[in-house]
Amino acid sequence: MSLNSQQLEGILACYKQIESELRVKLESLKSPLEMKFGRPVILFIESRTKKGNSLIEKARRYGWQVTEETIHRIKDIAGLRIIVQHLDDIDRVVDVLHQRTDLRVIDEKDFVRSPKTSGYRSYHLIVEYDYNDLRGPATRYAEIQVRTVGQHFWAVLQHSMMYKYGLEVPSHVAENLRLIAEETSNMDEKMMVMRWAVSRDLETDEVRDYAEKLV
């Protein structure tokens, strides 16, 4: 049976709770990572729960009838984003997420090593999370995206331009955005190598030569 608006509200409230709980957990990674690496690894965290209309639109796009049963198959109703400093911090954070026992990674997409045709780069994880509300325990999905501050800069601006143009993005705009994504990725790499070069523990001739070549 199709969802009525009260049921939809209840579902969104449950994902809002999941978003808040996961956000607290992800925020709590900041300090230990900073202590371990002697610099902030995670810069900030964003989160959102999908709006009812985009949820219904997504279910319909998949050809599903919008019911209590099918709606929970959508895996990014609760979405969180971890913004890190450097490219190698992405793998660090992903490893930490894999080790946790309070969420289980069930799917991953590495758009950093395999960028989307738009130029988009980020690491996406789908996790299963056990939560409790007044009706008792349930296991639900959430999406966690991990990206550098450089990748974030590109994604935010590109997203707002795509929104402006809708699906009719002029090809020269799309091509330029792809090129800028490439340039941003090169900058990310240079920044990371320079960090290696200045961090005492990794100062080797090899890293220094690489850093000089890049700059």
List interacting residues with ligand 0O2 (CB under 6 A): 76, 79, 109, 116, 118, 120, 124, 155, 158-159
Nearest alpha carbon to residue 17 among 134, 147, 145, 146: 134
- Distance from C-alpha of 199 to C-alpha of 214, rounded to nearest angstrom: 17
- Distance from C-alpha of 213 to C-alpha of 215, rounded to nearest angstrom: 6
- In whole angstroms, the minimum distance from the beta carbon of 99 to ligand 0O2 comes to 23
> Which is closer to ligand 0O2, CB of 75 or CB of 104?
75
- In whole angstroms, the minimum distance from the beta carbon of 36 to ligand 0O2 comes to 28
- Distance from C-alpha of 124 to C-alpha of 33, rounded to nearest angstrom: 20
Whether the CB-CB separation of 71 and 62 falls below 8 Å is answered with: no
> Which is closer to ligand 0O2, CB of 76 or CB of 89?
76
- In whole angstroms, the minimum distance from the beta carbon of 155 to ligand 0O2 comes to 4
Catalytic residue among 68, 128, 143, 189: 143
The amino acid present at 129, given as its one-letter code, is: Y
> Which is closer to ligand 0O2, CB of 22 or CB of 193?
22
DSSP-assigned states of every residue in 130-164: EEEETTEEEEEEEEEEEEEHHHHHHHHHHHHHHHH
- In whole angstroms, the minimum distance from the beta carbon of 39 to ligand 0O2 comes to 27
> Which is closer to ligand 0O2, CB of 107 or CB of 133?
107
Q: Any catalytic annotation for residue 108?
A: no
Positions annotated as catalytic residues are 143
